[in-house]
Structure 1
Amino acid sequence: MSIIICNYNYGRFLRAAIDSALAQTYGKVEVIVVDDGSTDTSRAVIDEFAAKGAVKALYQDNQGQCSAYNAGFAASAGDIVLFLDADDLYLPEMAERVVAAIDANAAKAHFKLSFIGPQGELRSGQTPRVLAFGAVGDLLATKGVLYSSAPGSGNAYARRALAKLFPLPITEDRYCADFFTVYGSALNGTVVAVNAVLGRYRLHGSVDDEGASLAFANAATYNAPERLKARIATFRSHVRRQLGVDLPPRLVSFSTQKQEFVRDVFRDGRYLRRLWTGQQQFADLWHALRSSPDFSLLLKSCIAIWAVLVIVLPRAAALPLARYVTNPASR
């Protein structure tokens, strides 16, 4: 198994991330740290571990996440590969649990992450609520459905599934690497769900700031509609070139659509305007929800009712209700 830690100016968190990778109870783990041109204390931290032979260190000029993924993957040798964000952590039993769960047909296994704050303090909540499993890549290839997945650090990939995708394309979108690996890998095999918390996902704001946001973590920054459209276009081109798969023109995800829904509904403070916007956006939200294989009919019905309430309730009541679904850190 290879754990690849891609870092840019997270020197204050990096030591804890490396320690968590080295602390795995499964003995056959190599740890590779790729520093993408950091200007803080990161290099000193990495050098300390590398001098002891604990990690393999790679240094490069700042080129973005995809470039760091490419460098780390090329230097790795494990049959199972994970990309640990430099501000996240793994629990000691993660590798052992993943190795026991992943099978010969699997492209990846994913697992849940609980929340920690800026100083590593435990927070309530975990992500994601639902882990997809099975042949979800078939739905992506035929219907354009982007399945429910753990964040980047919560994914363990079969090397053979990644080998067909790499190298990842280098674009102006500097935070798109896990989008390519999460969804592209599923086109090369099945997905295994390990329904357990095996890592920690770091939230960088205060409890109040994180809880007050309509968007979870970096979603508001990295998944703006224009950027997401460009990312999907690049992803479709890359999959066609690397795998020979022509994906549907429209790729839908409930995870991203719910963010767009609440953002647009609350863009204007006027109640009548919110009613009008909500009606317009509900159709897209329902299409993404109906297409998702990750929710039961009962849960889909509950989410549809949630969306209607977000539209029609007074703003003071609608906002916390919207946050409850779109931002798990607010629960």
Structure 2
Amino acid sequence: MEPLISIALCTYNGANYLPQQLDSILNQTYKNIELIVVDDGSTDGTKEILEEYANQYKEIKLYFNERNIGFNSNFERAISLCSGKFIAISDQDDIWKKNKLELLHENITDNWLIFSNSSFIDETGKIINGQILDKNFSLDGKDFKSLLFSNFVTGHTALFSKEFIPFLLPIPHQGFYDWWMGFVAIYHKKITYLNQVLTFHRIHSSSVMYRDETAKTTQGRDERYKEIIDNLAITKNYKNLCKNDEILIYKLFKAYSRLNFLDKIFLIRIFFNNYPVLFPDLKPRNGLSRLNYALKLVRKTY
């Protein structure tokens, strides 16, 4: 018999698009599923939609938070309530391809986590230009350092095994839960990527990605700087870091936090010497080109 796959779905005022996502999950070709839904205080009719579906489908288990606990904490609660051998993360307003769970399960092998690609759709469900990851994206040449300054693991495309949970939890309150998830999995070399679009990711005015991209556009450098600080702050405290890695991340965190002249010199050296692994998806650079990029990056940061 196929192992049970749990889907962790967190909801908050998602009534406009939730039925489409529930239908796409419940109509998966992989049938042995449970759908764990944790609502974080919705006031727009989301609860009523969930209760209507739960009355029709035995796979759905509903939980309602007594108070709003926020994005990361809500996903942590949803994950902790899952009983499946594997767990998939779901946003409330996406649409899944019918064979998403089947393909992720087939390809995770002995890894802790597998993630895939997604295409964008608009408020009406129409496919629009762009994907989360480049069509040629690969994990080749990447290690944990590749996730210190930017993230390529998106939670809504991921499936992970229950063996991963003791390493994943608790999810830090600051930063992004999927950035943390990717960092932990890649640090232990227990991650793989399936280069297929399996999710239609909806972009609209109330979506998390829309708000993040809008904030980056309006706040620019300051917002990006805060993201990096938050990520370095949580990754430096990961309990399973070896000593040398712990020291490196701590030094990067202190350099970003203090912003003095010596910190700039330190960061230039780090960016120059580690360019291929820190920025693996950028074009290859050597010598003067790499130095100019490191200088440019520090100028942008400060």
Give the direction of change, closer, same or farther, for the CA distance of 1:244–1:195 in structure 2 (3 Å limit).
Answer: closer
1:97 and 1:217 mapped to 2: Cα distance?
33
Within 1, Cα distance between the matches of 2:122 and 2:274? 31
Change (3 A) 1:230 1:125: closer
Question: Is the 1:112–1:196 Cα contact (8 Å) retained in structure 2?
Answer: yes
1:77 and 2:83 matched: yes
> C-alpha separation between the residues in 2 aligned to 1:245 and 1:82?
29
- Shift in Å, 1:218: 6.8
> Match of 2:198?
198
Note closer, same or farther for the CA distance 1:291–1:107 as it changes in structure 2 (3 Å cut): same
Q: Is the 1:113–1:198 contact (alpha carbons within 8 Å) kept by the matching residues of 2?
A: yes
Contact 1:24/1:93 (<8 A) preserved: yes
For 1:121 and 1:27, the matched residues in 2 are separated by 27
User: 1:108 pairs with 113, 119, 123, which one?
Assistant: 113
Q: Which residue of 2 aligns with 1:149?
A: 152
Identity %: 20
**Structure 1 pair 41–223 and aligned structure 2 pair: CA distance change class (3 A):** farther
Return the match for 1:6 from 10, 18, 25: 10
Alignment partner of 1:42 out of 36, 43, 46 = 46
> How large is the RMSD of aligned CA atoms in angstroms?
3.6
- Give the 3 Å change call, closer, same or farther, for CA 249–49 of structure 1 in structure 2: farther
Q: Which amino acid in the other structure matches residue 226 of structure 1?
A: K
State the shift of 1:203 in Å.
Answer: 1.3
Q: 1:93 and 2:130 equivalent?
A: no
Distance in 1, matches of 2:89 and 2:55, equals: 22
Counterpart check, 1:127 vs 2:109: no
- Alpha-carbon distance in 2 for matches of 1:12, 1:288: 45
Q: Which amino acid aligns with 1:109?
A: I
The CA deviation at 1:230 is 2.7
Deviation at 1:283, TM superposition (A): 8.7
Q: Secondary structure at the match of 2:236?
A: helix
Report Cα offsets for 1:166-222 as digits up to 9, x if no partner.
1323x3x4x6222221222323442211111101111115xxxx8xx9x85775589
Count matched residues.
Answer: 260
1:30 to 9, 29, 34: 34
CA change 1:54–1:223 in 2 (3 A) is farther
Check conservation: 1:132, 1:148, Cα contact below 8 A: no
- SS at 2:39 equivalent: strand
Change over 3 Å in CA distance of 1:140–1:19 after alignment to 2:
same
Deviations 1:128-181 (A, max 9, x none): 115443695xx327x875676242201111221123221323x3x4x6222221
| Structure 2 unaligned residues grouped into runs of 5+ | 250-266, 297-302
> What is the CA distance between 1:223 and its match in structure 2?
5.3
Unaligned runs of 5+ in 1: 252-280, 312-331
TM-score by length of 1: 0.67
In the alignment, the residues of structure 2 paired with residue 9 and residue 79 of structure 1 have an alpha-carbon distance, to the nearest angstrom, of 29
Map 1:144-183 → 2, pairs under 5 A = 145=148, 149-169=152-172, 171=173, 173=174, 176-183=176-183
Using the TM superposition, give the Cα deviation of residue 79 of structure 1 relative to its aligned residue in structure 2, in angstroms: 1.9
CA distance in 1, matches of 2:241, 2:132: 32
3-state SS in 1 of match to 2:17: helix
Instruction: Identify the residue that residue 74 of structure 2 maps to in structure 1.
Output: 68
- Structure 2 Cα separation of the partners of residues 15 and 218 of structure 1: 28
| Pair 1:140 & 2:151 matched | no
